[in-house]
Amino acid sequence: MSISADSTELRTAPDAPRVRDRADLRRQVKLVVLFAIAAVILLLFALSIDEPTVRYSLSDVYDPSQNHDANGRAVVWVTFALAAAAMLGSLLNVIPKGWPTALVSVVVGLGFYVGLTFWYFADQPGDLASSFVVTNPLPQAVNYATPLVLGALAGVLCERAGVINIAIEAQLLAGAFFASVASSMAFSSAAGLLGGILAGVAFAALLGVFALKYQVNQVVLGVVLIALALGLTDFLLGQIPSSGENKDLNQLLSAPVTMEKVPLGALADIPILGSALFNQTVLVYIMYVSVILVWFLLYHTTWGLRVRAVGEHPKAADTVGIRVNRVRWSAVLLGGVFAGLGGVFFTVGSTGAFTNNASNGAGFMALAAVIMGRWHPVGATCAALFFGLMLTTQDQFGVMTKFPTELLGAAPYLATLIAVAGVIGRVRPPAADGEPYVKG
Amino acid sequence: MTGDQPSKDGATGTAGQPEKRTGPEPRLVGTGIFSATVKDTIVTTVLAIILALLIGAVLIAISNSDVLDALGYFGVYPWDTFTRAGDAIWVSYTSLLKGSIGSLDAIQATLAKSAPLICAGLGVALAFKAGLFNIGAQGQIIAGALAAGYVGFTWTSLPIGLHLLVSVVAGVVAGGIYGGIAGVLKARTGAHEVITTIMLNHVAGFALAYALAREIYQVTGSDERVSPPVADSATYPSLLGVHSGVVVALLAAMLVWWILERSTLGFELKAVGANPDAAQTAGMNVAKVYTVAMLLAGAFAGLAATMQINGDQAQISDTLIGTIGFDAITVALLGRGSPLGTVLAGLLFGALQVGGVSMQASTASTPPELALVLQSLIVLFVAAPAVVRHLVRLRDEKQDSTFAAKGLSA
């Protein structure tokens, strides 16, 4: 941030030459274009609304008494003003680099989201108007984000230690399957957590053995482990008899006890955020603790310093007496715990019994969150929450047919593309990511 | 995830180019590329397959109901368990072999199954050489299939040869453009290709669903989400009972070999893959190379789509593409990024998938998912020759850490 402050001063100081490097200029152009596109779209939305009344509810449960009416057109105009102001700001180059830019981008992004939602729910056919209500998307967003956050934490831990973990998807799948089996066998969702953790750690151990002991290329390894997890869970699922063939055995292996929402007392009554953050399953609370734990471990403990050291410069770390591969092993195995927990979401944490390919690419989304969050646990969590919000929007918009549902489905991924290409851009991974360390 | 430094096992030796392995090698490797002699390669690959089959045998035994019954009285009469397990394994593996290469029909099925895997694998391998991890073959294939299919069933007034040509070119171009998006984003904005290709895969999946819900991709008068079949004039002519797309796939492999080993572009690809900073310093346009590499990768994936679409009067549906794009990654990895290796790996996987079906049909009724497990185990062991040597107590001739090259490039 000090550099950005300098460059602004350089530019504004009367006797300083007007020197700006091209990267800075390109960044400005990119922002202007991005904000301009947002503003133009919002303008079109605002102009196209005929019947502006939009019904919304701050709660996420259906309760007509809590519904309010808002003027959708006014809301869209406000969001347009936000985007236009941001565009002007970046055009005049008055938004400093670093966190102010990030903040402005987030505000415009959220504004765009709100504007889109209100435009989408405006102009309803008269008799249906009362049945389409904008509900609070946050509770479901947090819920959807849970496996992504936990998977991303595994990715962050591994990659900070210099081990590429493409296999988050494999860990999620294995976690989901064995959580389902363990929960069914023990008739308890807590056993499901344990089963998920064990499976996640088992796949982490495979990753460790092949990546650290046998120095297999870690990208190859990740892809192979995903294929292995897919094949194995599919194969094992096929071994569980259907309830028609053998009812008892089917009950024993694939009838997991799922988790219930546990409201956290008064916290759950806070408007808007309360139901989003504090009326969730135990798994979601574990997710909160995990994020804080990983952040604390990485940045405030000796172990974390060592993890980051072996990920950046293993040779230097070795020189000062850190056992590189031992530290890497610990990071990979701890990552397995979180990824396994993430897998629990897909069975015990939500729907119940395991189905073929239950995680359905969530591991790849978690990997994207790791990179978008720049290998930082909090950054990755924010990226995962963004994905969660997008997935929720898809659900909410799906009840109406203003857009074809298939295109709505693609929206979260397009949004990620735009965010990555437009705002985030080039990222720098840990320097020794993917490099096996051989002493000598 | 950087590819910014030269890999440690710098060498260009591939199965296709053994004679180049004399003397010190130039340090020019893409990522994930093998550096071992041909003999080593063959030995480790064969051992890897054997090991995978051994583990597969255990899985067959425990998934067989007869064996499980016999286990129930193992203490009384243990011999039954072993004979039944032996039977199940024998029946499964012989039907795997018979079903994939045991008859002319089987060989034809295997070839047809392998062709798209080979083409898409070539695309992934080519991107690998430039240090790009292209997870996007699936999306590129879908883009290619939508284009090739549309031309294939609508422009039926075109003459026979031309119709096929236009349809195939449409598929290749569409795949290339779709792959190129990731390349351009990487070159222009630095967006990581792993993220962009993953996202583009999802987008393509939804685009396919969207297209199939429109009238232009549906049979007239039907609401089913299946396109009309591709016209006769746009299908690859049959050659010895197999569609001639297989030949096109082999020609594509030769083209990739030529690009990589004989063209300036190939040299630039490999140079950028080995060390983009050095390549930049040497005057190469790294951004252009990334773009071209992804364009080409997408084009080969698009060609893979034509194997499905123009192979046998296919109808586009949401299951036609299956998981070819993801299998292609494992094919490219097993083939160690070389064109010849990719062809062989594609043939092996094609055979396993075709054979997997007949394993299920056999008396042992082994689940076809076993084929997927076998595939991944084979690649796992091939990627880790040290494991294979350790397990079969081979003398460690030289410490070549296979695939020690760095993986993802930022």
Candidate from B210, B372, B383 with C-beta closest to A220: B383
Q: Are residues B379 and A409, on separate chains, in Cβ contact within 8 Å?
A: no
At B35, the amino acid letter reads: S
Residues of A in contact with B62 (CB under 8 A): 239
Minimal CA–CA distance to A332: which of A135, A95, A164, A93?
A164
Q: Are residues A319 and A416 in the same domain?
A: yes
Nearest by CB to residue B401, choosing from A215, A414, A424, is A215
* Position A297 in a domain: yes
Residues of chain A with pLDDT under 50: 1-11
> B132: which chain A residues are within 8 Å (Cβ-Cβ)?
none
- Rounded CA gap, A152 and A383, in Å? 9
Q: Chain B residues with CB inside 8 Å of A216's CB?
A: 380, 383-384, 402-403
CA B72 to chain centre: 42
Residue A59 lies in a domain: yes
Can you list the positions of beta strands (E) in A58-190?
Answer: 67-71
Distance in angstroms (rounded) separating the CA atoms of residues A59 and A129 = 18
Residue A98: per-residue pLDDT: 76
Q: Are residues A159 and A117 in the same domain?
A: no
Q: How far is CA B383 from the centre of its chain?
A: 15
Total count of domains within chain A? 2
- State the greatest distance between any 2 C-alpha atoms of chain B, in Å, as a whole number: 77
A182 and A106 fall within a common domain: no
Cβ pair A231:B372 closer than 8 A:
yes
CA A13 to chain centre: 42
A29 plus A174 within the same structural domain: no
Backbone angles phi, psi at A55, to 5 degrees: -95, 130
Q: Are residues A147 and A125 in the same domain?
A: no
Residue B376 to residue A164, Cβ atoms within 8 A: no
Are residues A250 and A124 part of one domain?
no
Q: What is the pTM of this model?
A: 0.81
Q: What is the pLDDT of residue A125?
A: 66
For residue A22, which residues of chain B lie inside 8 Å, CB to CB?
none
Q: CA A250 to CA B264: how far, in whole Å?
A: 61
Residues A128 and A255 in one domain: no
Q: Are B309 and B152 in contact (CB under 8 A)?
A: yes
Q: Give the tens place of pLDDT for each residue, A68-89.
A: 777 888 888 999 999 999 999 8
Are A294 and A394 in a shared domain? Answer: yes
Structure tokens at B94: 């012989």
Question: What is the C-alpha separation between A229 and B373, in angstroms, rounded?
Answer: 8
Distance CA A76, CA A119 (A): 7
DSSP A13: S
Domain end residue (candidates: A117, A135, A153): A135
Given A219, A407, A421, which is nearest B189 (Cβ)?
A421
pLDDT for A179-222, tens place per residue?
999 999 998 889 999 999 999 999 999 999 999 988 887 877 88
In this structure, the answer to whether residues A171 and A218 fall within a common structural domain is: yes
Minimal Cα–Cα distance from B373 to chain A, Å? 5
Q: Estimate the crossing angle of helix A377-397 against helix A405-418, to 10 degrees.
A: 160
CATH number, domain of A252, equals 1.10.3470.10
Residue at A432 is within a domain:
no
Q: What does the pLDDT read at residue A247? A: 78
Q: Which phi and psi angles does B376 have, rounded to 5°? A: -70, -35
Amino acid residing at A134 = V
- Asked whether B159 and B340 are in contact (CB, 8 A), the reply is no
Q: How many residues does chain B have?
A: 410
Q: Are residues A146 and A100 in the same domain?
A: no
Which residue, of A95, A113, A135, is where some domain finishes? Answer: A135
For residue B280, the surrounding DSSP H or E stretch is helix B276-281
**CB-side neighbour CA atoms (13 Å) of B15:** 19
What is the ipTM for the molecules in this complex? 0.76
Answer yes or no: do B384 and A435 touch at CB < 8 A.
no
pLDDT at B380: 83
With respect to residue A173, please indicate whether it lies within any of the assigned structural domains: yes
What residue type is assigned to position A289 of the chain? V
Q: In which element (H, E) is residue A56 found?
A: strand A53-57
Residue B307: name the closest of B107, B101, B108, B119 by CA: B119
**Helical segments of B102-244, H only:** 104-129, 137-154, 160-189, 193-212
The confidence score (pLDDT) of residue A31 equals 85
Q: Quote the pLDDT of residue A440.
A: 67
Q: Are residues A198 and A263 in the same domain?
A: yes
* Residues from chain A contacting residue B401 (CB–CB below 8 Å): 215, 436, 438
Residue A123 has a pLDDT of: 76
Q: What is the DSSP letter of A103?
A: H
Buried b (16+ CB within 10 A) or exposed e, A382-411: bbbbbbbbbbbbbebbeeeeeeebbebbbb
Low-confidence ranges of chain B (pLDDT < 50): 1-34, 396-410
Torsion of CA B43, B44, B46, B50, to 10 degrees: 130
Same domain, A109 and A163: no
Summarised one tens digit per residue, pLDDT across range B126-159 is 999 999 989 899 999 999 999 999 999 999 888 8
Residue B342: the pLDDT is 94
| Residue A139: HSE in the Cβ half-sphere, 13 Å Cα cutoff | 22
Structural domain range at position A406: 138-423
Could you tell me if residue A436 is inside a domain?
no
Q: For residue B409, what is the nearest residue in chain A, using CA coordinates?
A: A429
| Enclosing H/E stretch for A411 | helix A405-418
Reduced to 3 states (helix: H, G, I; strand: E, B; else coil), residue B379 is: helix
Contacts of A227 in chain B (CB under 8 A): 326, 330, 372, 375-376, 379
Domain boundary residue among A135, A160, A185? A135
Give chain A's largest Cα–Cα span. Answer: 86
Residue A5 lies in a domain: no
